[in-house]
Structure 1
Amino acid sequence: MKLMVLFLMLLIFHMGSAQNEKAQNPIIFADVPDMSMVRVGDTYYMSSTTMHMSPGVPIMKSTDLVNWKLVNYAYDTLANVDALVLENGKNAYGRGSWASCIRYHNGMFYVFTFAATTGKTYVFSTKDIEKGPWEVKSFEPSYHDLTVHFDEDGKVYMIWGNGKLMIAELQDDLSGVKAGTERVLMENASAPAGDNIMLGAEGSQLFKVNGKYYLFNITWPRGGMRTVLVYRADNIYGPYEGKVALQDRGIAQGGLIDTPDGKWFTYLFRDYGSVGRIPYLAPVTWEDGWPILGVDGKVPQTLDLPASTGLIPNIVASDEFNRKENDHKLPLVWQWNHNPVDSLWSLTDRKGYLRLTTGRTDENFVQARNTLTQRTIGPVCSGATALDVSNMKEGDFAGLALLQKNYGQIGVKYENGTKKLVMVSSQNDKPEEMESLALQHDQNIVYLRAVCDFTDLKDVADFYYSLDGDKWVRMGTRLKMSYTLPHFMGYRFGLFNYATKEAGGYADFDYFRILNKLND
């Protein structure tokens, strides 16, 4: 009997271990929306959206569809207009570049994207997607949620739109649309989901499988959820027949990808509160020439793919800011909030530190330049830094933030000749100083931490400080994080320093350390 009990215990343990060795949804518990994927041999590449961040259009690489690593960006900066450089009261929050389309054709990688901020459509191309260099072409106007297809007849087609979908041929050199080729593809692409539609069909992604064209879109019936539509046709111009392909927890917008051994998956994303829009995978089977998404109409929790090894350090990562001489580069996990001023940040002015110098005065955090950011990750995470405030000037504010419209900050303000530690909350759309603590004259090093809990959409964050790096004290009030459309992005950790009185002060950050747990 004892042997039987032991055997059963071992069997249960083995079954649990096997379960844990499978991939789990979401495959990336972080803000990676509007994915577009392509497979080249046994390697997958994915582009995504980061809108107002620079560099932009992140490129990720995987060999198993689950474990992704940032390998490049399509551009360093998109353009030098007021909205992207935070000048004259303008900004590009929630705009910048949107849903990209990644393609591979005749040995060349292409990434197409569009930006209402500039009114242009962009074509980035390279032979080496991981190292570049990139060639860029742009043309007007900005084609919304475009998808591009290189067909066997040598023609290149683009589909775009919202509700009413359009199609056109591109010039052979991809420098614009061929004159006279633009036409309506579908007058009402939302039709399979009914008449009461809140969001017209968009997010187009076109694929060709076994001679048929498959067009993926999303729509949103009023009172319902984000819904996947799939259309198919024998000719790229149609006629198309379409149907609802998936309605499950709002998981939608994406397309098809196959594996080298002939399996098929659909990649999609889900709005998941303040952490952002997070990627999911679902298996695809084929019935009567239609892709059937998921299992019994649902996106499964587990997948017959290798388990994730975690998002650290390939999607987010700690940084001690130690660099070799003449190495001033930032790892790909970092992005600037809008275009940076390169002359005002440095990894070499003080060895082992990131220095942020103020170059102008600003009235508020979201208009300040040179905030350096990384994604937050779920279900829980914490980010910490050590800050040297010796060289701040009157009116300066430096520290650690959780960036979104309703942001939170912890840091040091220099006011009336005194440095004070403060926690600021903009939870109610207006920044409020929730707690402050005057620092001793000789207290020039402070330690700061922000802790996020996205479990089951809790969406709360707490801020902590330490004066010695060992004893941590919670400060201010708990931030109720909220995903807002004006920023249209999950919360990000941000290292910041900005002036309100005079420019020229600087703050030195010793490190940034991120963990996938609430505290050390």
Structure 2
Amino acid sequence: MKSYIFVFIFPLLAAQCLLAQTKPAQNPVIFADVPDLSMIRVGETYYMSSTTMHLSPGLPIMKSKDLINWQMVGYAYDTLTTVDAMTLNNGKSTYGRGSWASSIRYHQGTYYVTTFAQTSGRTHIYTTKDIEKGPWKAISFKPSYHDHTLFFDDDGRVYLIYGVGKLKMIELNADLSGVKPGTTEQVLIENASLPAGNNIMLQSEGSQLFKVNGKYYLFNIVWPRGGMRTVLIHRADKITGPWEGKLALQDLGVAQGGLIDTPDGQWYAYLFRDYGAVGRIPYLVPVKWEDGWPILGIDGKVPETLNLPASTGLIPNLVHSDEFSRQKGDPALPLVWQWNHNPENSLWSLKARKGYLRLQTGRLDTSFFLARNTLTQRSIGPECSGSTALDVSNLKEGDFAGLCLLQKNYGLLGVKVISGQRQIVMINAGSGKPVEAQRVPLKGNKVYFKAECNFRDKKDVANFFYSLDGKSWNPIGEQLKMSYTLPHFMGYRFGLFNYATQQVGGYADFDYFHIEDKISK
């Protein structure tokens, strides 16, 4: 009987594998918040950096072998800066700021990733010989060069091109330790927005510079008033100009990025699209060359499918579940996790109770936004759910611990100790102000929480549930209307939190976090 099973199943598996190989990739290539992407290819491997602003660690590095299936390999820094805004001290925060658009480059055996930060007022450059294992060396200097692109020219000189509307260039020292003495900034393009017209809402920014067949190509984004995010390209025979520009792509608001080629000679533009509450999601657009210009899209449009391998999904490479069990040699936290601002490392542990994440309070906080040690990871589209179980037996009066969806208009589902009694509380800040939507008494010590997100067609709603046994789920509160807001400038993230409002020293033990790419119907 076993032989017959093998005979019939083997061709079926072979057919399924063949189907997976021939199925085309889809846009968006990553249905999750990966904004301001910058990309390189080294041999047959692609590396990408992105923006995560106020989160820690920051400046994520991802890799791929096919431009579609990406996995986290590290971060350029653990701590950007320790000013009060980054550590959530003295009532300060840096939501929507921190480090912004990065530039990743490979030059003579060294990887370079650069960024800039209003929070520090500096330009930050990180270097390593091993992009997947590190270590990273950090250099920083003033000022903070906005939306810059790092560029190594063929003559060995190194530049940053940056600015908004009026694009400028500055030369760096050969070791990138700062601006080269005796040099001054040079205006490259007086009005880089001009190819998109004169009625501009968002001036040209997001510079990324490339050199192809001896010519320089400078990519930017611009946003005409009453229109959509648009790709502009300028080209020149010399880096100092003169530059000529053209409108390169205006479809679906897919814009901001640059060029990447494959080992077999195909060209693509990597770009992203604002897609509501899930965040800014990456797209790939085919490129062909005509008369020395890169021509983006298919008849000027962003295609739904691509001549690349299909995605195998974002789980477990960009988000994944965590049982909080660690073997010897395992990292303390998988790379998908980031803290909301710099953590207080003495107040969290995976060792205090085996198989649990412990979040302990160490100070009193007046709001969820100022709470330390909220542990987060991305939500994903078109739909997803995140769930957790926690032991609340050691919470103190006024403590609030549970599961959140983090953005300015957040949702919280947790246990709060009120007058000595544990209460399951759902907070809905979808209106912009936090409102207690429902409160349910909790008699036991363990409770299960779940949040389901629907980003399909920008529906942008979330529902919360609780359970006492992990099997039967009860809806609670009101549906959260999720909104992408500029004060936070980030797609919604799942988070585990615990903070104190009356006394310190309490703690919550989280048994697991599970994420799925589906919701209940």
Query: Structures share a fold, TM > 0.5?
Result: yes
Aligned equivalents of 1:511, 1:255: Cα separation in 2: 39
What is the Cα deviation at residue 327 of structure 1? 5.0
Aligned equivalents of 1:326, 1:298: Cα separation in 2: 48
Deviations 1:271-291 (A, max 9, x none): 000000000001100000000
Match of 1:504 in 2: 505
Q: What residue ranges of structure 2 are gaps of 5+ in the alignment? A: 1-14
What is the Cα deviation at residue 429 of structure 1? 1.7
Residue 510 of structure 2 aligns to which amino acid in structure 1? F
Assess if the C-alpha contact under 8 Å between 2:22 and 2:309 holds in 1. Answer: no
Deviations 1:401-421 (A, max 9, x none): 000000001110001000000
The equivalent position to 2:78 in structure 1, one of 61, 76, 79, is: 76
Assess if the C-alpha contact under 8 Å between 2:171 and 2:183 holds in 1. Answer: no
What is the Cα deviation at residue 519 of structure 1? 3.6
Q: Which structure 1 residue ranges, 4+ long, deviate > 3 Å from structure 2? A: 16-20, 325-328
TM-score by length of 2: 0.95
Match of 1:471 in 2: 472
Match of 1:342 in 2: 345
What is the Cα deviation at residue 19 of structure 1? 10
Name the SS for the 1:50 alignment partner: coil
Against the structure 1 CA distance between its residues 244 and 409, is the aligned structure 2 distance closer, same or farther, given a 3 Å change threshold?
A: same
Name the SS for the 2:163 alignment partner: strand
Assess if the C-alpha contact under 8 Å between 1:254 and 1:266 holds in 2. Answer: yes
Match of 1:202 in 2: 205
Aligned equivalents of 2:329, 2:69: Cα separation in 1: 32
Assess if the C-alpha contact under 8 Å between 1:213 and 1:232 holds in 2. Answer: yes
Match of 1:267 in 2: 270
Aligned equivalents of 1:328, 1:254: Cα separation in 2: 32
Assess if the C-alpha contact under 8 Å between 1:269 and 1:277 holds in 2. Answer: yes
Name the SS for the 2:218 alignment partner: strand
Assess if the C-alpha contact under 8 Å between 1:218 and 1:229 holds in 2. Answer: yes
What is the Cα deviation at residue 20 of structure 1? 7.1
Match of 1:359 in 2: 362
Match of 1:397 in 2: 400
Assess if the C-alpha contact under 8 Å between 1:325 and 1:348 holds in 2. Answer: no
Name the SS for the 1:495 alignment partner: strand
The equivalent position to 1:154 in structure 2, one of 145, 153, 156, is: 156
What is the Cα deviation at residue 187 of structure 1? 1.1
Aligned equivalents of 2:481, 2:39: Cα separation in 1: 34
Match of 1:66 in 2: 68
Aligned equivalents of 2:226, 2:442: Cα separation in 1: 53
Aligned equivalents of 1:516, 1:280: Cα separation in 2: 19
Assess if the C-alpha contact under 8 Å between 2:21 and 2:309 holds in 1. Answer: no
The 5-angstrom pairing of residues 159-238 of structure 1 reads 159-178=161-180, 179-238=182-241
Match of 1:49 in 2: 51
Q: What residue ranges of structure 1 are gaps of 5+ in the alignment? A: 1-12
Residue 470 of structure 1 aligns to which amino acid in structure 2? K
Match of 1:293 in 2: 296
What is the Cα deviation at residue 328 of structure 1? 5.9
The equivalent position to 2:286 in structure 1, one of 262, 283, 301, is: 283
1:458 matches 2:444: no
Against the structure 1 CA distance between its residues 378 and 237, is the aligned structure 2 distance closer, same or farther, given a 3 Å change threshold?
A: same
The 5-angstrom pairing of residues 105-184 of structure 1 reads 105-178=107-180, 179-184=182-187
Deviations 1:421-459 (A, max 9, x none): 01111112221110001112xx00000000000000000
Identity %, equivalent residues:
70
Aligned equivalents of 1:364, 1:448: Cα separation in 2: 21
Aligned equivalents of 2:434, 2:427: Cα separation in 1: 6
Assess if the C-alpha contact under 8 Å between 1:328 and 1:348 holds in 2. Answer: no
Assess if the C-alpha contact under 8 Å between 1:452 and 1:462 holds in 2. Answer: yes
Aligned equivalents of 1:19, 1:332: Cα separation in 2: 28
Aligned equivalents of 2:415, 2:270: Cα separation in 1: 43
Aligned equivalents of 2:19, 2:486: Cα separation in 1: 40
What is the Cα deviation at residue 237 of structure 1? 0.6
Total equivalences in the alignment:
505
Residue 91 of structure 2 aligns to which amino acid in structure 1? G
Aligned equivalents of 2:495, 2:20: Cα separation in 1: 38
Deviations 1:269-323 (A, max 9, x none): 0000000000000110000000000101011000000000000000000000001
Name the SS for the 1:245 alignment partner: strand
Aligned equivalents of 1:166, 1:177: Cα separation in 2: 14
TM-score by length of 1: 0.96
Against the structure 1 CA distance between its residues 18 and 308, is the aligned structure 2 distance closer, same or farther, given a 3 Å change threshold?
A: closer
What is the Cα deviation at residue 181 of structure 1? 3.5
Aligned equivalents of 2:143, 2:55: Cα separation in 1: 22
Residue 74 of structure 1 aligns to which amino acid in structure 2? A
Aligned equivalents of 2:298, 2:440: Cα separation in 1: 55
What is the Cα deviation at residue 324 of structure 1? 2.4
Assess if the C-alpha contact under 8 Å between 1:32 and 1:49 holds in 2. Answer: yes
Against the structure 1 CA distance between its residues 18 and 126, is the aligned structure 2 distance closer, same or farther, given a 3 Å change threshold?
A: closer
Deviations 1:110-143 (A, max 9, x none): 0010001110001100000010000010000000
Residue 498 of structure 1 aligns to which amino acid in structure 2? Y
Aligned equivalents of 1:372, 1:148: Cα separation in 2: 32
Deviations 1:169-209 (A, max 9, x none): 11111011123231111111100000011111000000000
Residue 247 of structure 2 aligns to which amino acid in structure 1? V
Assess if the C-alpha contact under 8 Å between 1:326 and 1:348 holds in 2. Answer: no
What is the Cα deviation at residue 21 of structure 1? 1.0
Match of 2:9 in 1: none
Name the SS for the 1:162 alignment partner: coil
Name the SS for the 1:99 alignment partner: coil
Assess if the C-alpha contact under 8 Å between 1:328 and 1:347 holds in 2. Answer: no
The equivalent position to 2:439 in structure 1, one of 408, 411, 436, is: 436
Residue 471 of structure 2 aligns to which amino acid in structure 1? D
Residue 148 of structure 1 aligns to which amino acid in structure 2? L
Aligned equivalents of 1:60, 1:475: Cα separation in 2: 37
Assess if the C-alpha contact under 8 Å between 1:265 and 1:282 holds in 2. Answer: yes
Assess if the C-alpha contact under 8 Å between 1:225 and 1:247 holds in 2. Answer: yes
Match of 1:93 in 2: 95
Aligned equivalents of 2:57, 2:286: Cα separation in 1: 32
The 5-angstrom pairing of residues 406-417 of structure 1 reads 406-417=409-420
The equivalent position to 1:239 in structure 2, one of 238, 242, 249, is: 242
Residue 144 of structure 1 aligns to which amino acid in structure 2? H
Aligned equivalents of 2:465, 2:383: Cα separation in 1: 16
CA RMSD of aligned residues (A): 1.4
Assess if the C-alpha contact under 8 Å between 2:102 and 2:147 holds in 1. Answer: yes
Assess if the C-alpha contact under 8 Å between 1:328 and 1:346 holds in 2. Answer: no
Aligned equivalents of 1:18, 1:219: Cα separation in 2: 38
